[in-house]
Structure 1
């Protein structure tokens, strides 16, 4: 009795797993990706929650956003009166650049500097947030008892 019930159940579960994997998104070009996110942040109906969701989704992608997307996001932050979110977004972009942050992040700031000045948005470096205020030294930088 149990084996006659188990076989259709297992077959249904295996079919369900296959159908869950059968759909996927079409390949999107870089220009389409940039245009989609730029228009997302430029929507007049965008609210604070959607802005945060868009930033979070962008951080999850395995690419660095183009300056035009960053500009659209910063304009949305200013439009929604979220200057602190704009600064935190810039900080997140610096962390997203990873080991290439010394090259990519200054280039990005150079590209978006006119927008930052126009919108009066401060970068983390302008505010002194590039290093923690009360951060401890790394244990590898501390002196040992024989170093004095």
Structure 2
């Protein structure tokens, strides 16, 4: 009972805070001092483009980002894609795209196309297909809707 009430209260608070202020709040909670969005993005871009980074560290950075209450910026998404491609892990790159799409939440109809528009040149350069090109956006065994018959 308490878990349900706490969940509803958390949802109500998240709805009133908004994306940008929650991003700053998440950064403050992690580092104890205020960090601008640009510095945050640069830090993760630098992390993913480090020399000698391995697959485990890339996964850790991606999981840390996806665990925060924010949608990664296109520059950070591109840096993660380049890192995954550098260690030759295309499955990780596709999962990264899928995780970023899920982070869009209820704004998926507007935010995800914007992200795709910004990162499409990088996807083409690296040879990484989108989730939609692979058909992962639709369930494999889905039945036709009765309204489409």
Q: Same fold (TM over 0.5)?
A: yes
The ranges of structure 1 where at least 4 consecutive aligned residues each deviate by more than 3 angstroms after the TM superposition are none
2:88 counterpart of 1:61: no
Q: TM-score, normalised by structure 2?
A: 0.73
2:105 counterpart of 1:93: no
How far the C-alpha of 1:33 sits from its partner, in A, is 0.4
Q: Secondary structure at the match of 1:113?
A: helix
Q: Give the corresponding residue for 2:18.
A: none
Larger radius of gyration, structure 1 or 2?
1
Q: Give the corresponding residue for 1:131.
A: 138
CA displacement 1:17-67 (0-9 Å, x = unmatched): xxxxxxx61111111100100000000121010010001000011111111
- Tell me how far apart the structure 1 counterparts of residues 129 and 137 of structure 2 sit (CA, whole Å): 12
2:112 counterpart of 1:112: no
2:78 counterpart of 1:71: yes
Q: TM-score, normalised by structure 1?
A: 0.74
Structure 2: tracts of 5 or more residues without a match: 1-30
- Report the count of equivalent residues: 117
How far the C-alpha of 1:134 sits from its partner, in A, is 2.0
Equivalent positions of 1:43-58 (< 5 A) are 43-58=50-65
Structure 1: tracts of 5 or more residues without a match: 1-23, 144-148
RMSD of the alignment, in Å?
A: 1.8
